[in-house]
Chains A and B, each alone.
Chain A
Amino acid sequence: MFRQASTIAYYTLLEALRNRLMWLLGLILVAGIGISGFLGELAVTESAQVQVALLAAFFRLAAVFLVATFVVTSLVREFNDKGLELVLALPLPRAGYVLGKLAGFAALAVVPALLFGALTAFFAPPLQATLWTVSLLAELWIVAAFSLLCVLTFNQIMAALSAVMAFYLLARSIAALQLIGQGGISSDSLSQKVVAGVINAIALMLPRLDQFTRTEWLAYGGGGWATLAPLLVQTALYMTLLTGAGLFDLYRKNL
């Protein structure tokens, strides 16, 4: 199964690379440098930090958007072309298909992570740029796996992309929501407690993406391998969860 899965992964990556994705990445790279350079020039002080902070935030969002869009559109197209049925007609377990696709998307995520990460190395110490790159890669893997799960569930571009974006925004802001829930003006009221409880329950199911790929590492330093370790554990756990959910969903489909 692993050989078949690696073949699927290879062709998934090949499809991405032949899809003018590199051109798009190049455009984002140039746009990011241009915008951050311009705004960095406007800054009265800390212009280097302004530039790297804007660059990093722009690259992070762009990479997430690119990966999510590619995963969703590629899989929906494959479903519509009956490519999934064709592949599953071969002696290949469904798990092989999911794992192969995931591996292909994970390999694809390496490209923007490395490209954008390499550029941040010009503005930040090598260790901090490395941490940022590895963390961005982990974040992109989670986004890619969630996008895969959403396509398997919704089968439609709009619904899947909306769900991915909602998940990403929620995972990025859940910590702030939890804090608001804890310390509101009427924190003792029953409704406030219920709301806080619901938010905490949602937080249990989400990765804390606000802890990932932090711009402050590049702007101020301070990140270390110890910072990265829990993020990698969280990535491994969440990837397993999403893979399990994807397998569960695909195995239940009557194709």
Chain B
Amino acid sequence: MNERSIADVPLAARAVLALALGLQLAWQATQPVLLARAEDLAPPPTPAVLNVMSLGEPVALARGLMLYLQAHDNQPGIQVPFLKLDYARVQAWLAAVLLLDPSGQYPLMAASQLYAQVNDPVRQRQMTEFVYQQFADDPNRRWPWLAHAAFTAKHRLHDLPLARKYAQALRLQATGPAVPAWAQQMEIFLMEDLNEFEGARILLGGLLQSGQITDPNEIAFLSRRLDELKVKSAQAGQNGAGENK
């Protein structure tokens, strides 16, 4: 269908179009500026409802729910500080997503790397504890997030016993071939920080003897550390004996 030229359109029709276009632009330009308003995070549906909602696609729903949860930090036009989020609900959402897709790493990554970074020790502890609880269900896949939780406990919370608890869980439970040696060695260094040289020495010696470490450089490095620990352990023993005298 060929088109006629614009000149063939009656002047009245052109005038109506131009006038209406101008009025529409003017009307929208004078509308009040949109203001964003933060909305509270609602509690998640029950697992049974989520299963029905997934329509047989739990992985897809889990991914979608994580985006929904994240959207509450960055709602249209407004960024809600983590401090204002209800962490009990955040945790409930993360647990619900993990139930839907246990292989997914996203919820634990979000818990340890996003929500645990809030500047509030209570919330930080809540998130690291959540990671610790969930780690036990699949240690060989979820170890990175507990390692990060241990890091948070040591450097952000300055709670070395808590960090050691996480590191110990890593050593005892994350024993798969894909778990790097440093994750299993973390407890040793934390014990050193706790001045538990004898325990650290025993653990490191056991690790070296187990044959789990095969890299020559790493063996050399850890052997040097073991020697240092022996010295520190001996010094600590002498100091302890001196004090007793």
Which of A's residues lie within 8 Å of B, judged by CB?
A: 95, 155, 175-180, 182-185, 203-206, 208, 233-234, 237-238, 240-241, 243-245, 247-248, 251-255
Interface size on B, residues (CB 8 A): 32
The distance from the CB of B94 to the nearest CB of chain A, in whole angstroms, is 21
Docked pose: A184 CA to B6 CA in angstroms: 42
The distance from the CB of A248 to the nearest CB of chain B, in whole angstroms, is 5
Query: Chain A: which residue is nearest B4 at the CB level?
Result: A252
Please tell me if the beta carbons of B34 and A241 are within 8 angstroms of each other in the complex.
no
Q: List 22 A-B contacts (CB under 8 A).
A: A95-B10, A95-B12, A178-B77, A179-B78, A182-B36, A185-B74, A204-B24, A206-B28, A208-B31, A238-B24, A240-B20, A240-B23, A241-B17, A243-B20, A244-B18, A248-B13, A248-B14, A251-B8, A251-B9, A251-B10, A252-B4, A254-B3
Which of B's residues lie within 8 Å of A, judged by CB?
A: 1-6, 8-10, 12-14, 16-21, 23-25, 27-29, 31, 34, 36, 74, 76-79
Please tell me if the beta carbons of A179 and B16 are within 8 angstroms of each other in the complex.
no
- CB-defined contacts of A155 to chain B, threshold 8 Å: 1
- CB-defined contacts of A253 to chain B, threshold 8 Å: 1, 3-4
Please tell me if the beta carbons of A183 and B31 are within 8 angstroms of each other in the complex.
no
Docked pose: A233 CA to B17 CA in angstroms: 17
Please tell me if the beta carbons of A241 and B20 are within 8 angstroms of each other in the complex.
yes
Q: A182-B34, A254-B1 are in contact. List 7 more A-B contacts (CB 8 A).
A: A178-B77, A179-B34, A182-B36, A205-B24, A244-B13, A244-B16, A252-B3
Query: Chain A: which residue is nearest B74 at the CB level?
Result: A185
- CB-defined contacts of A248 to chain B, threshold 8 Å: 9, 13-14, 17
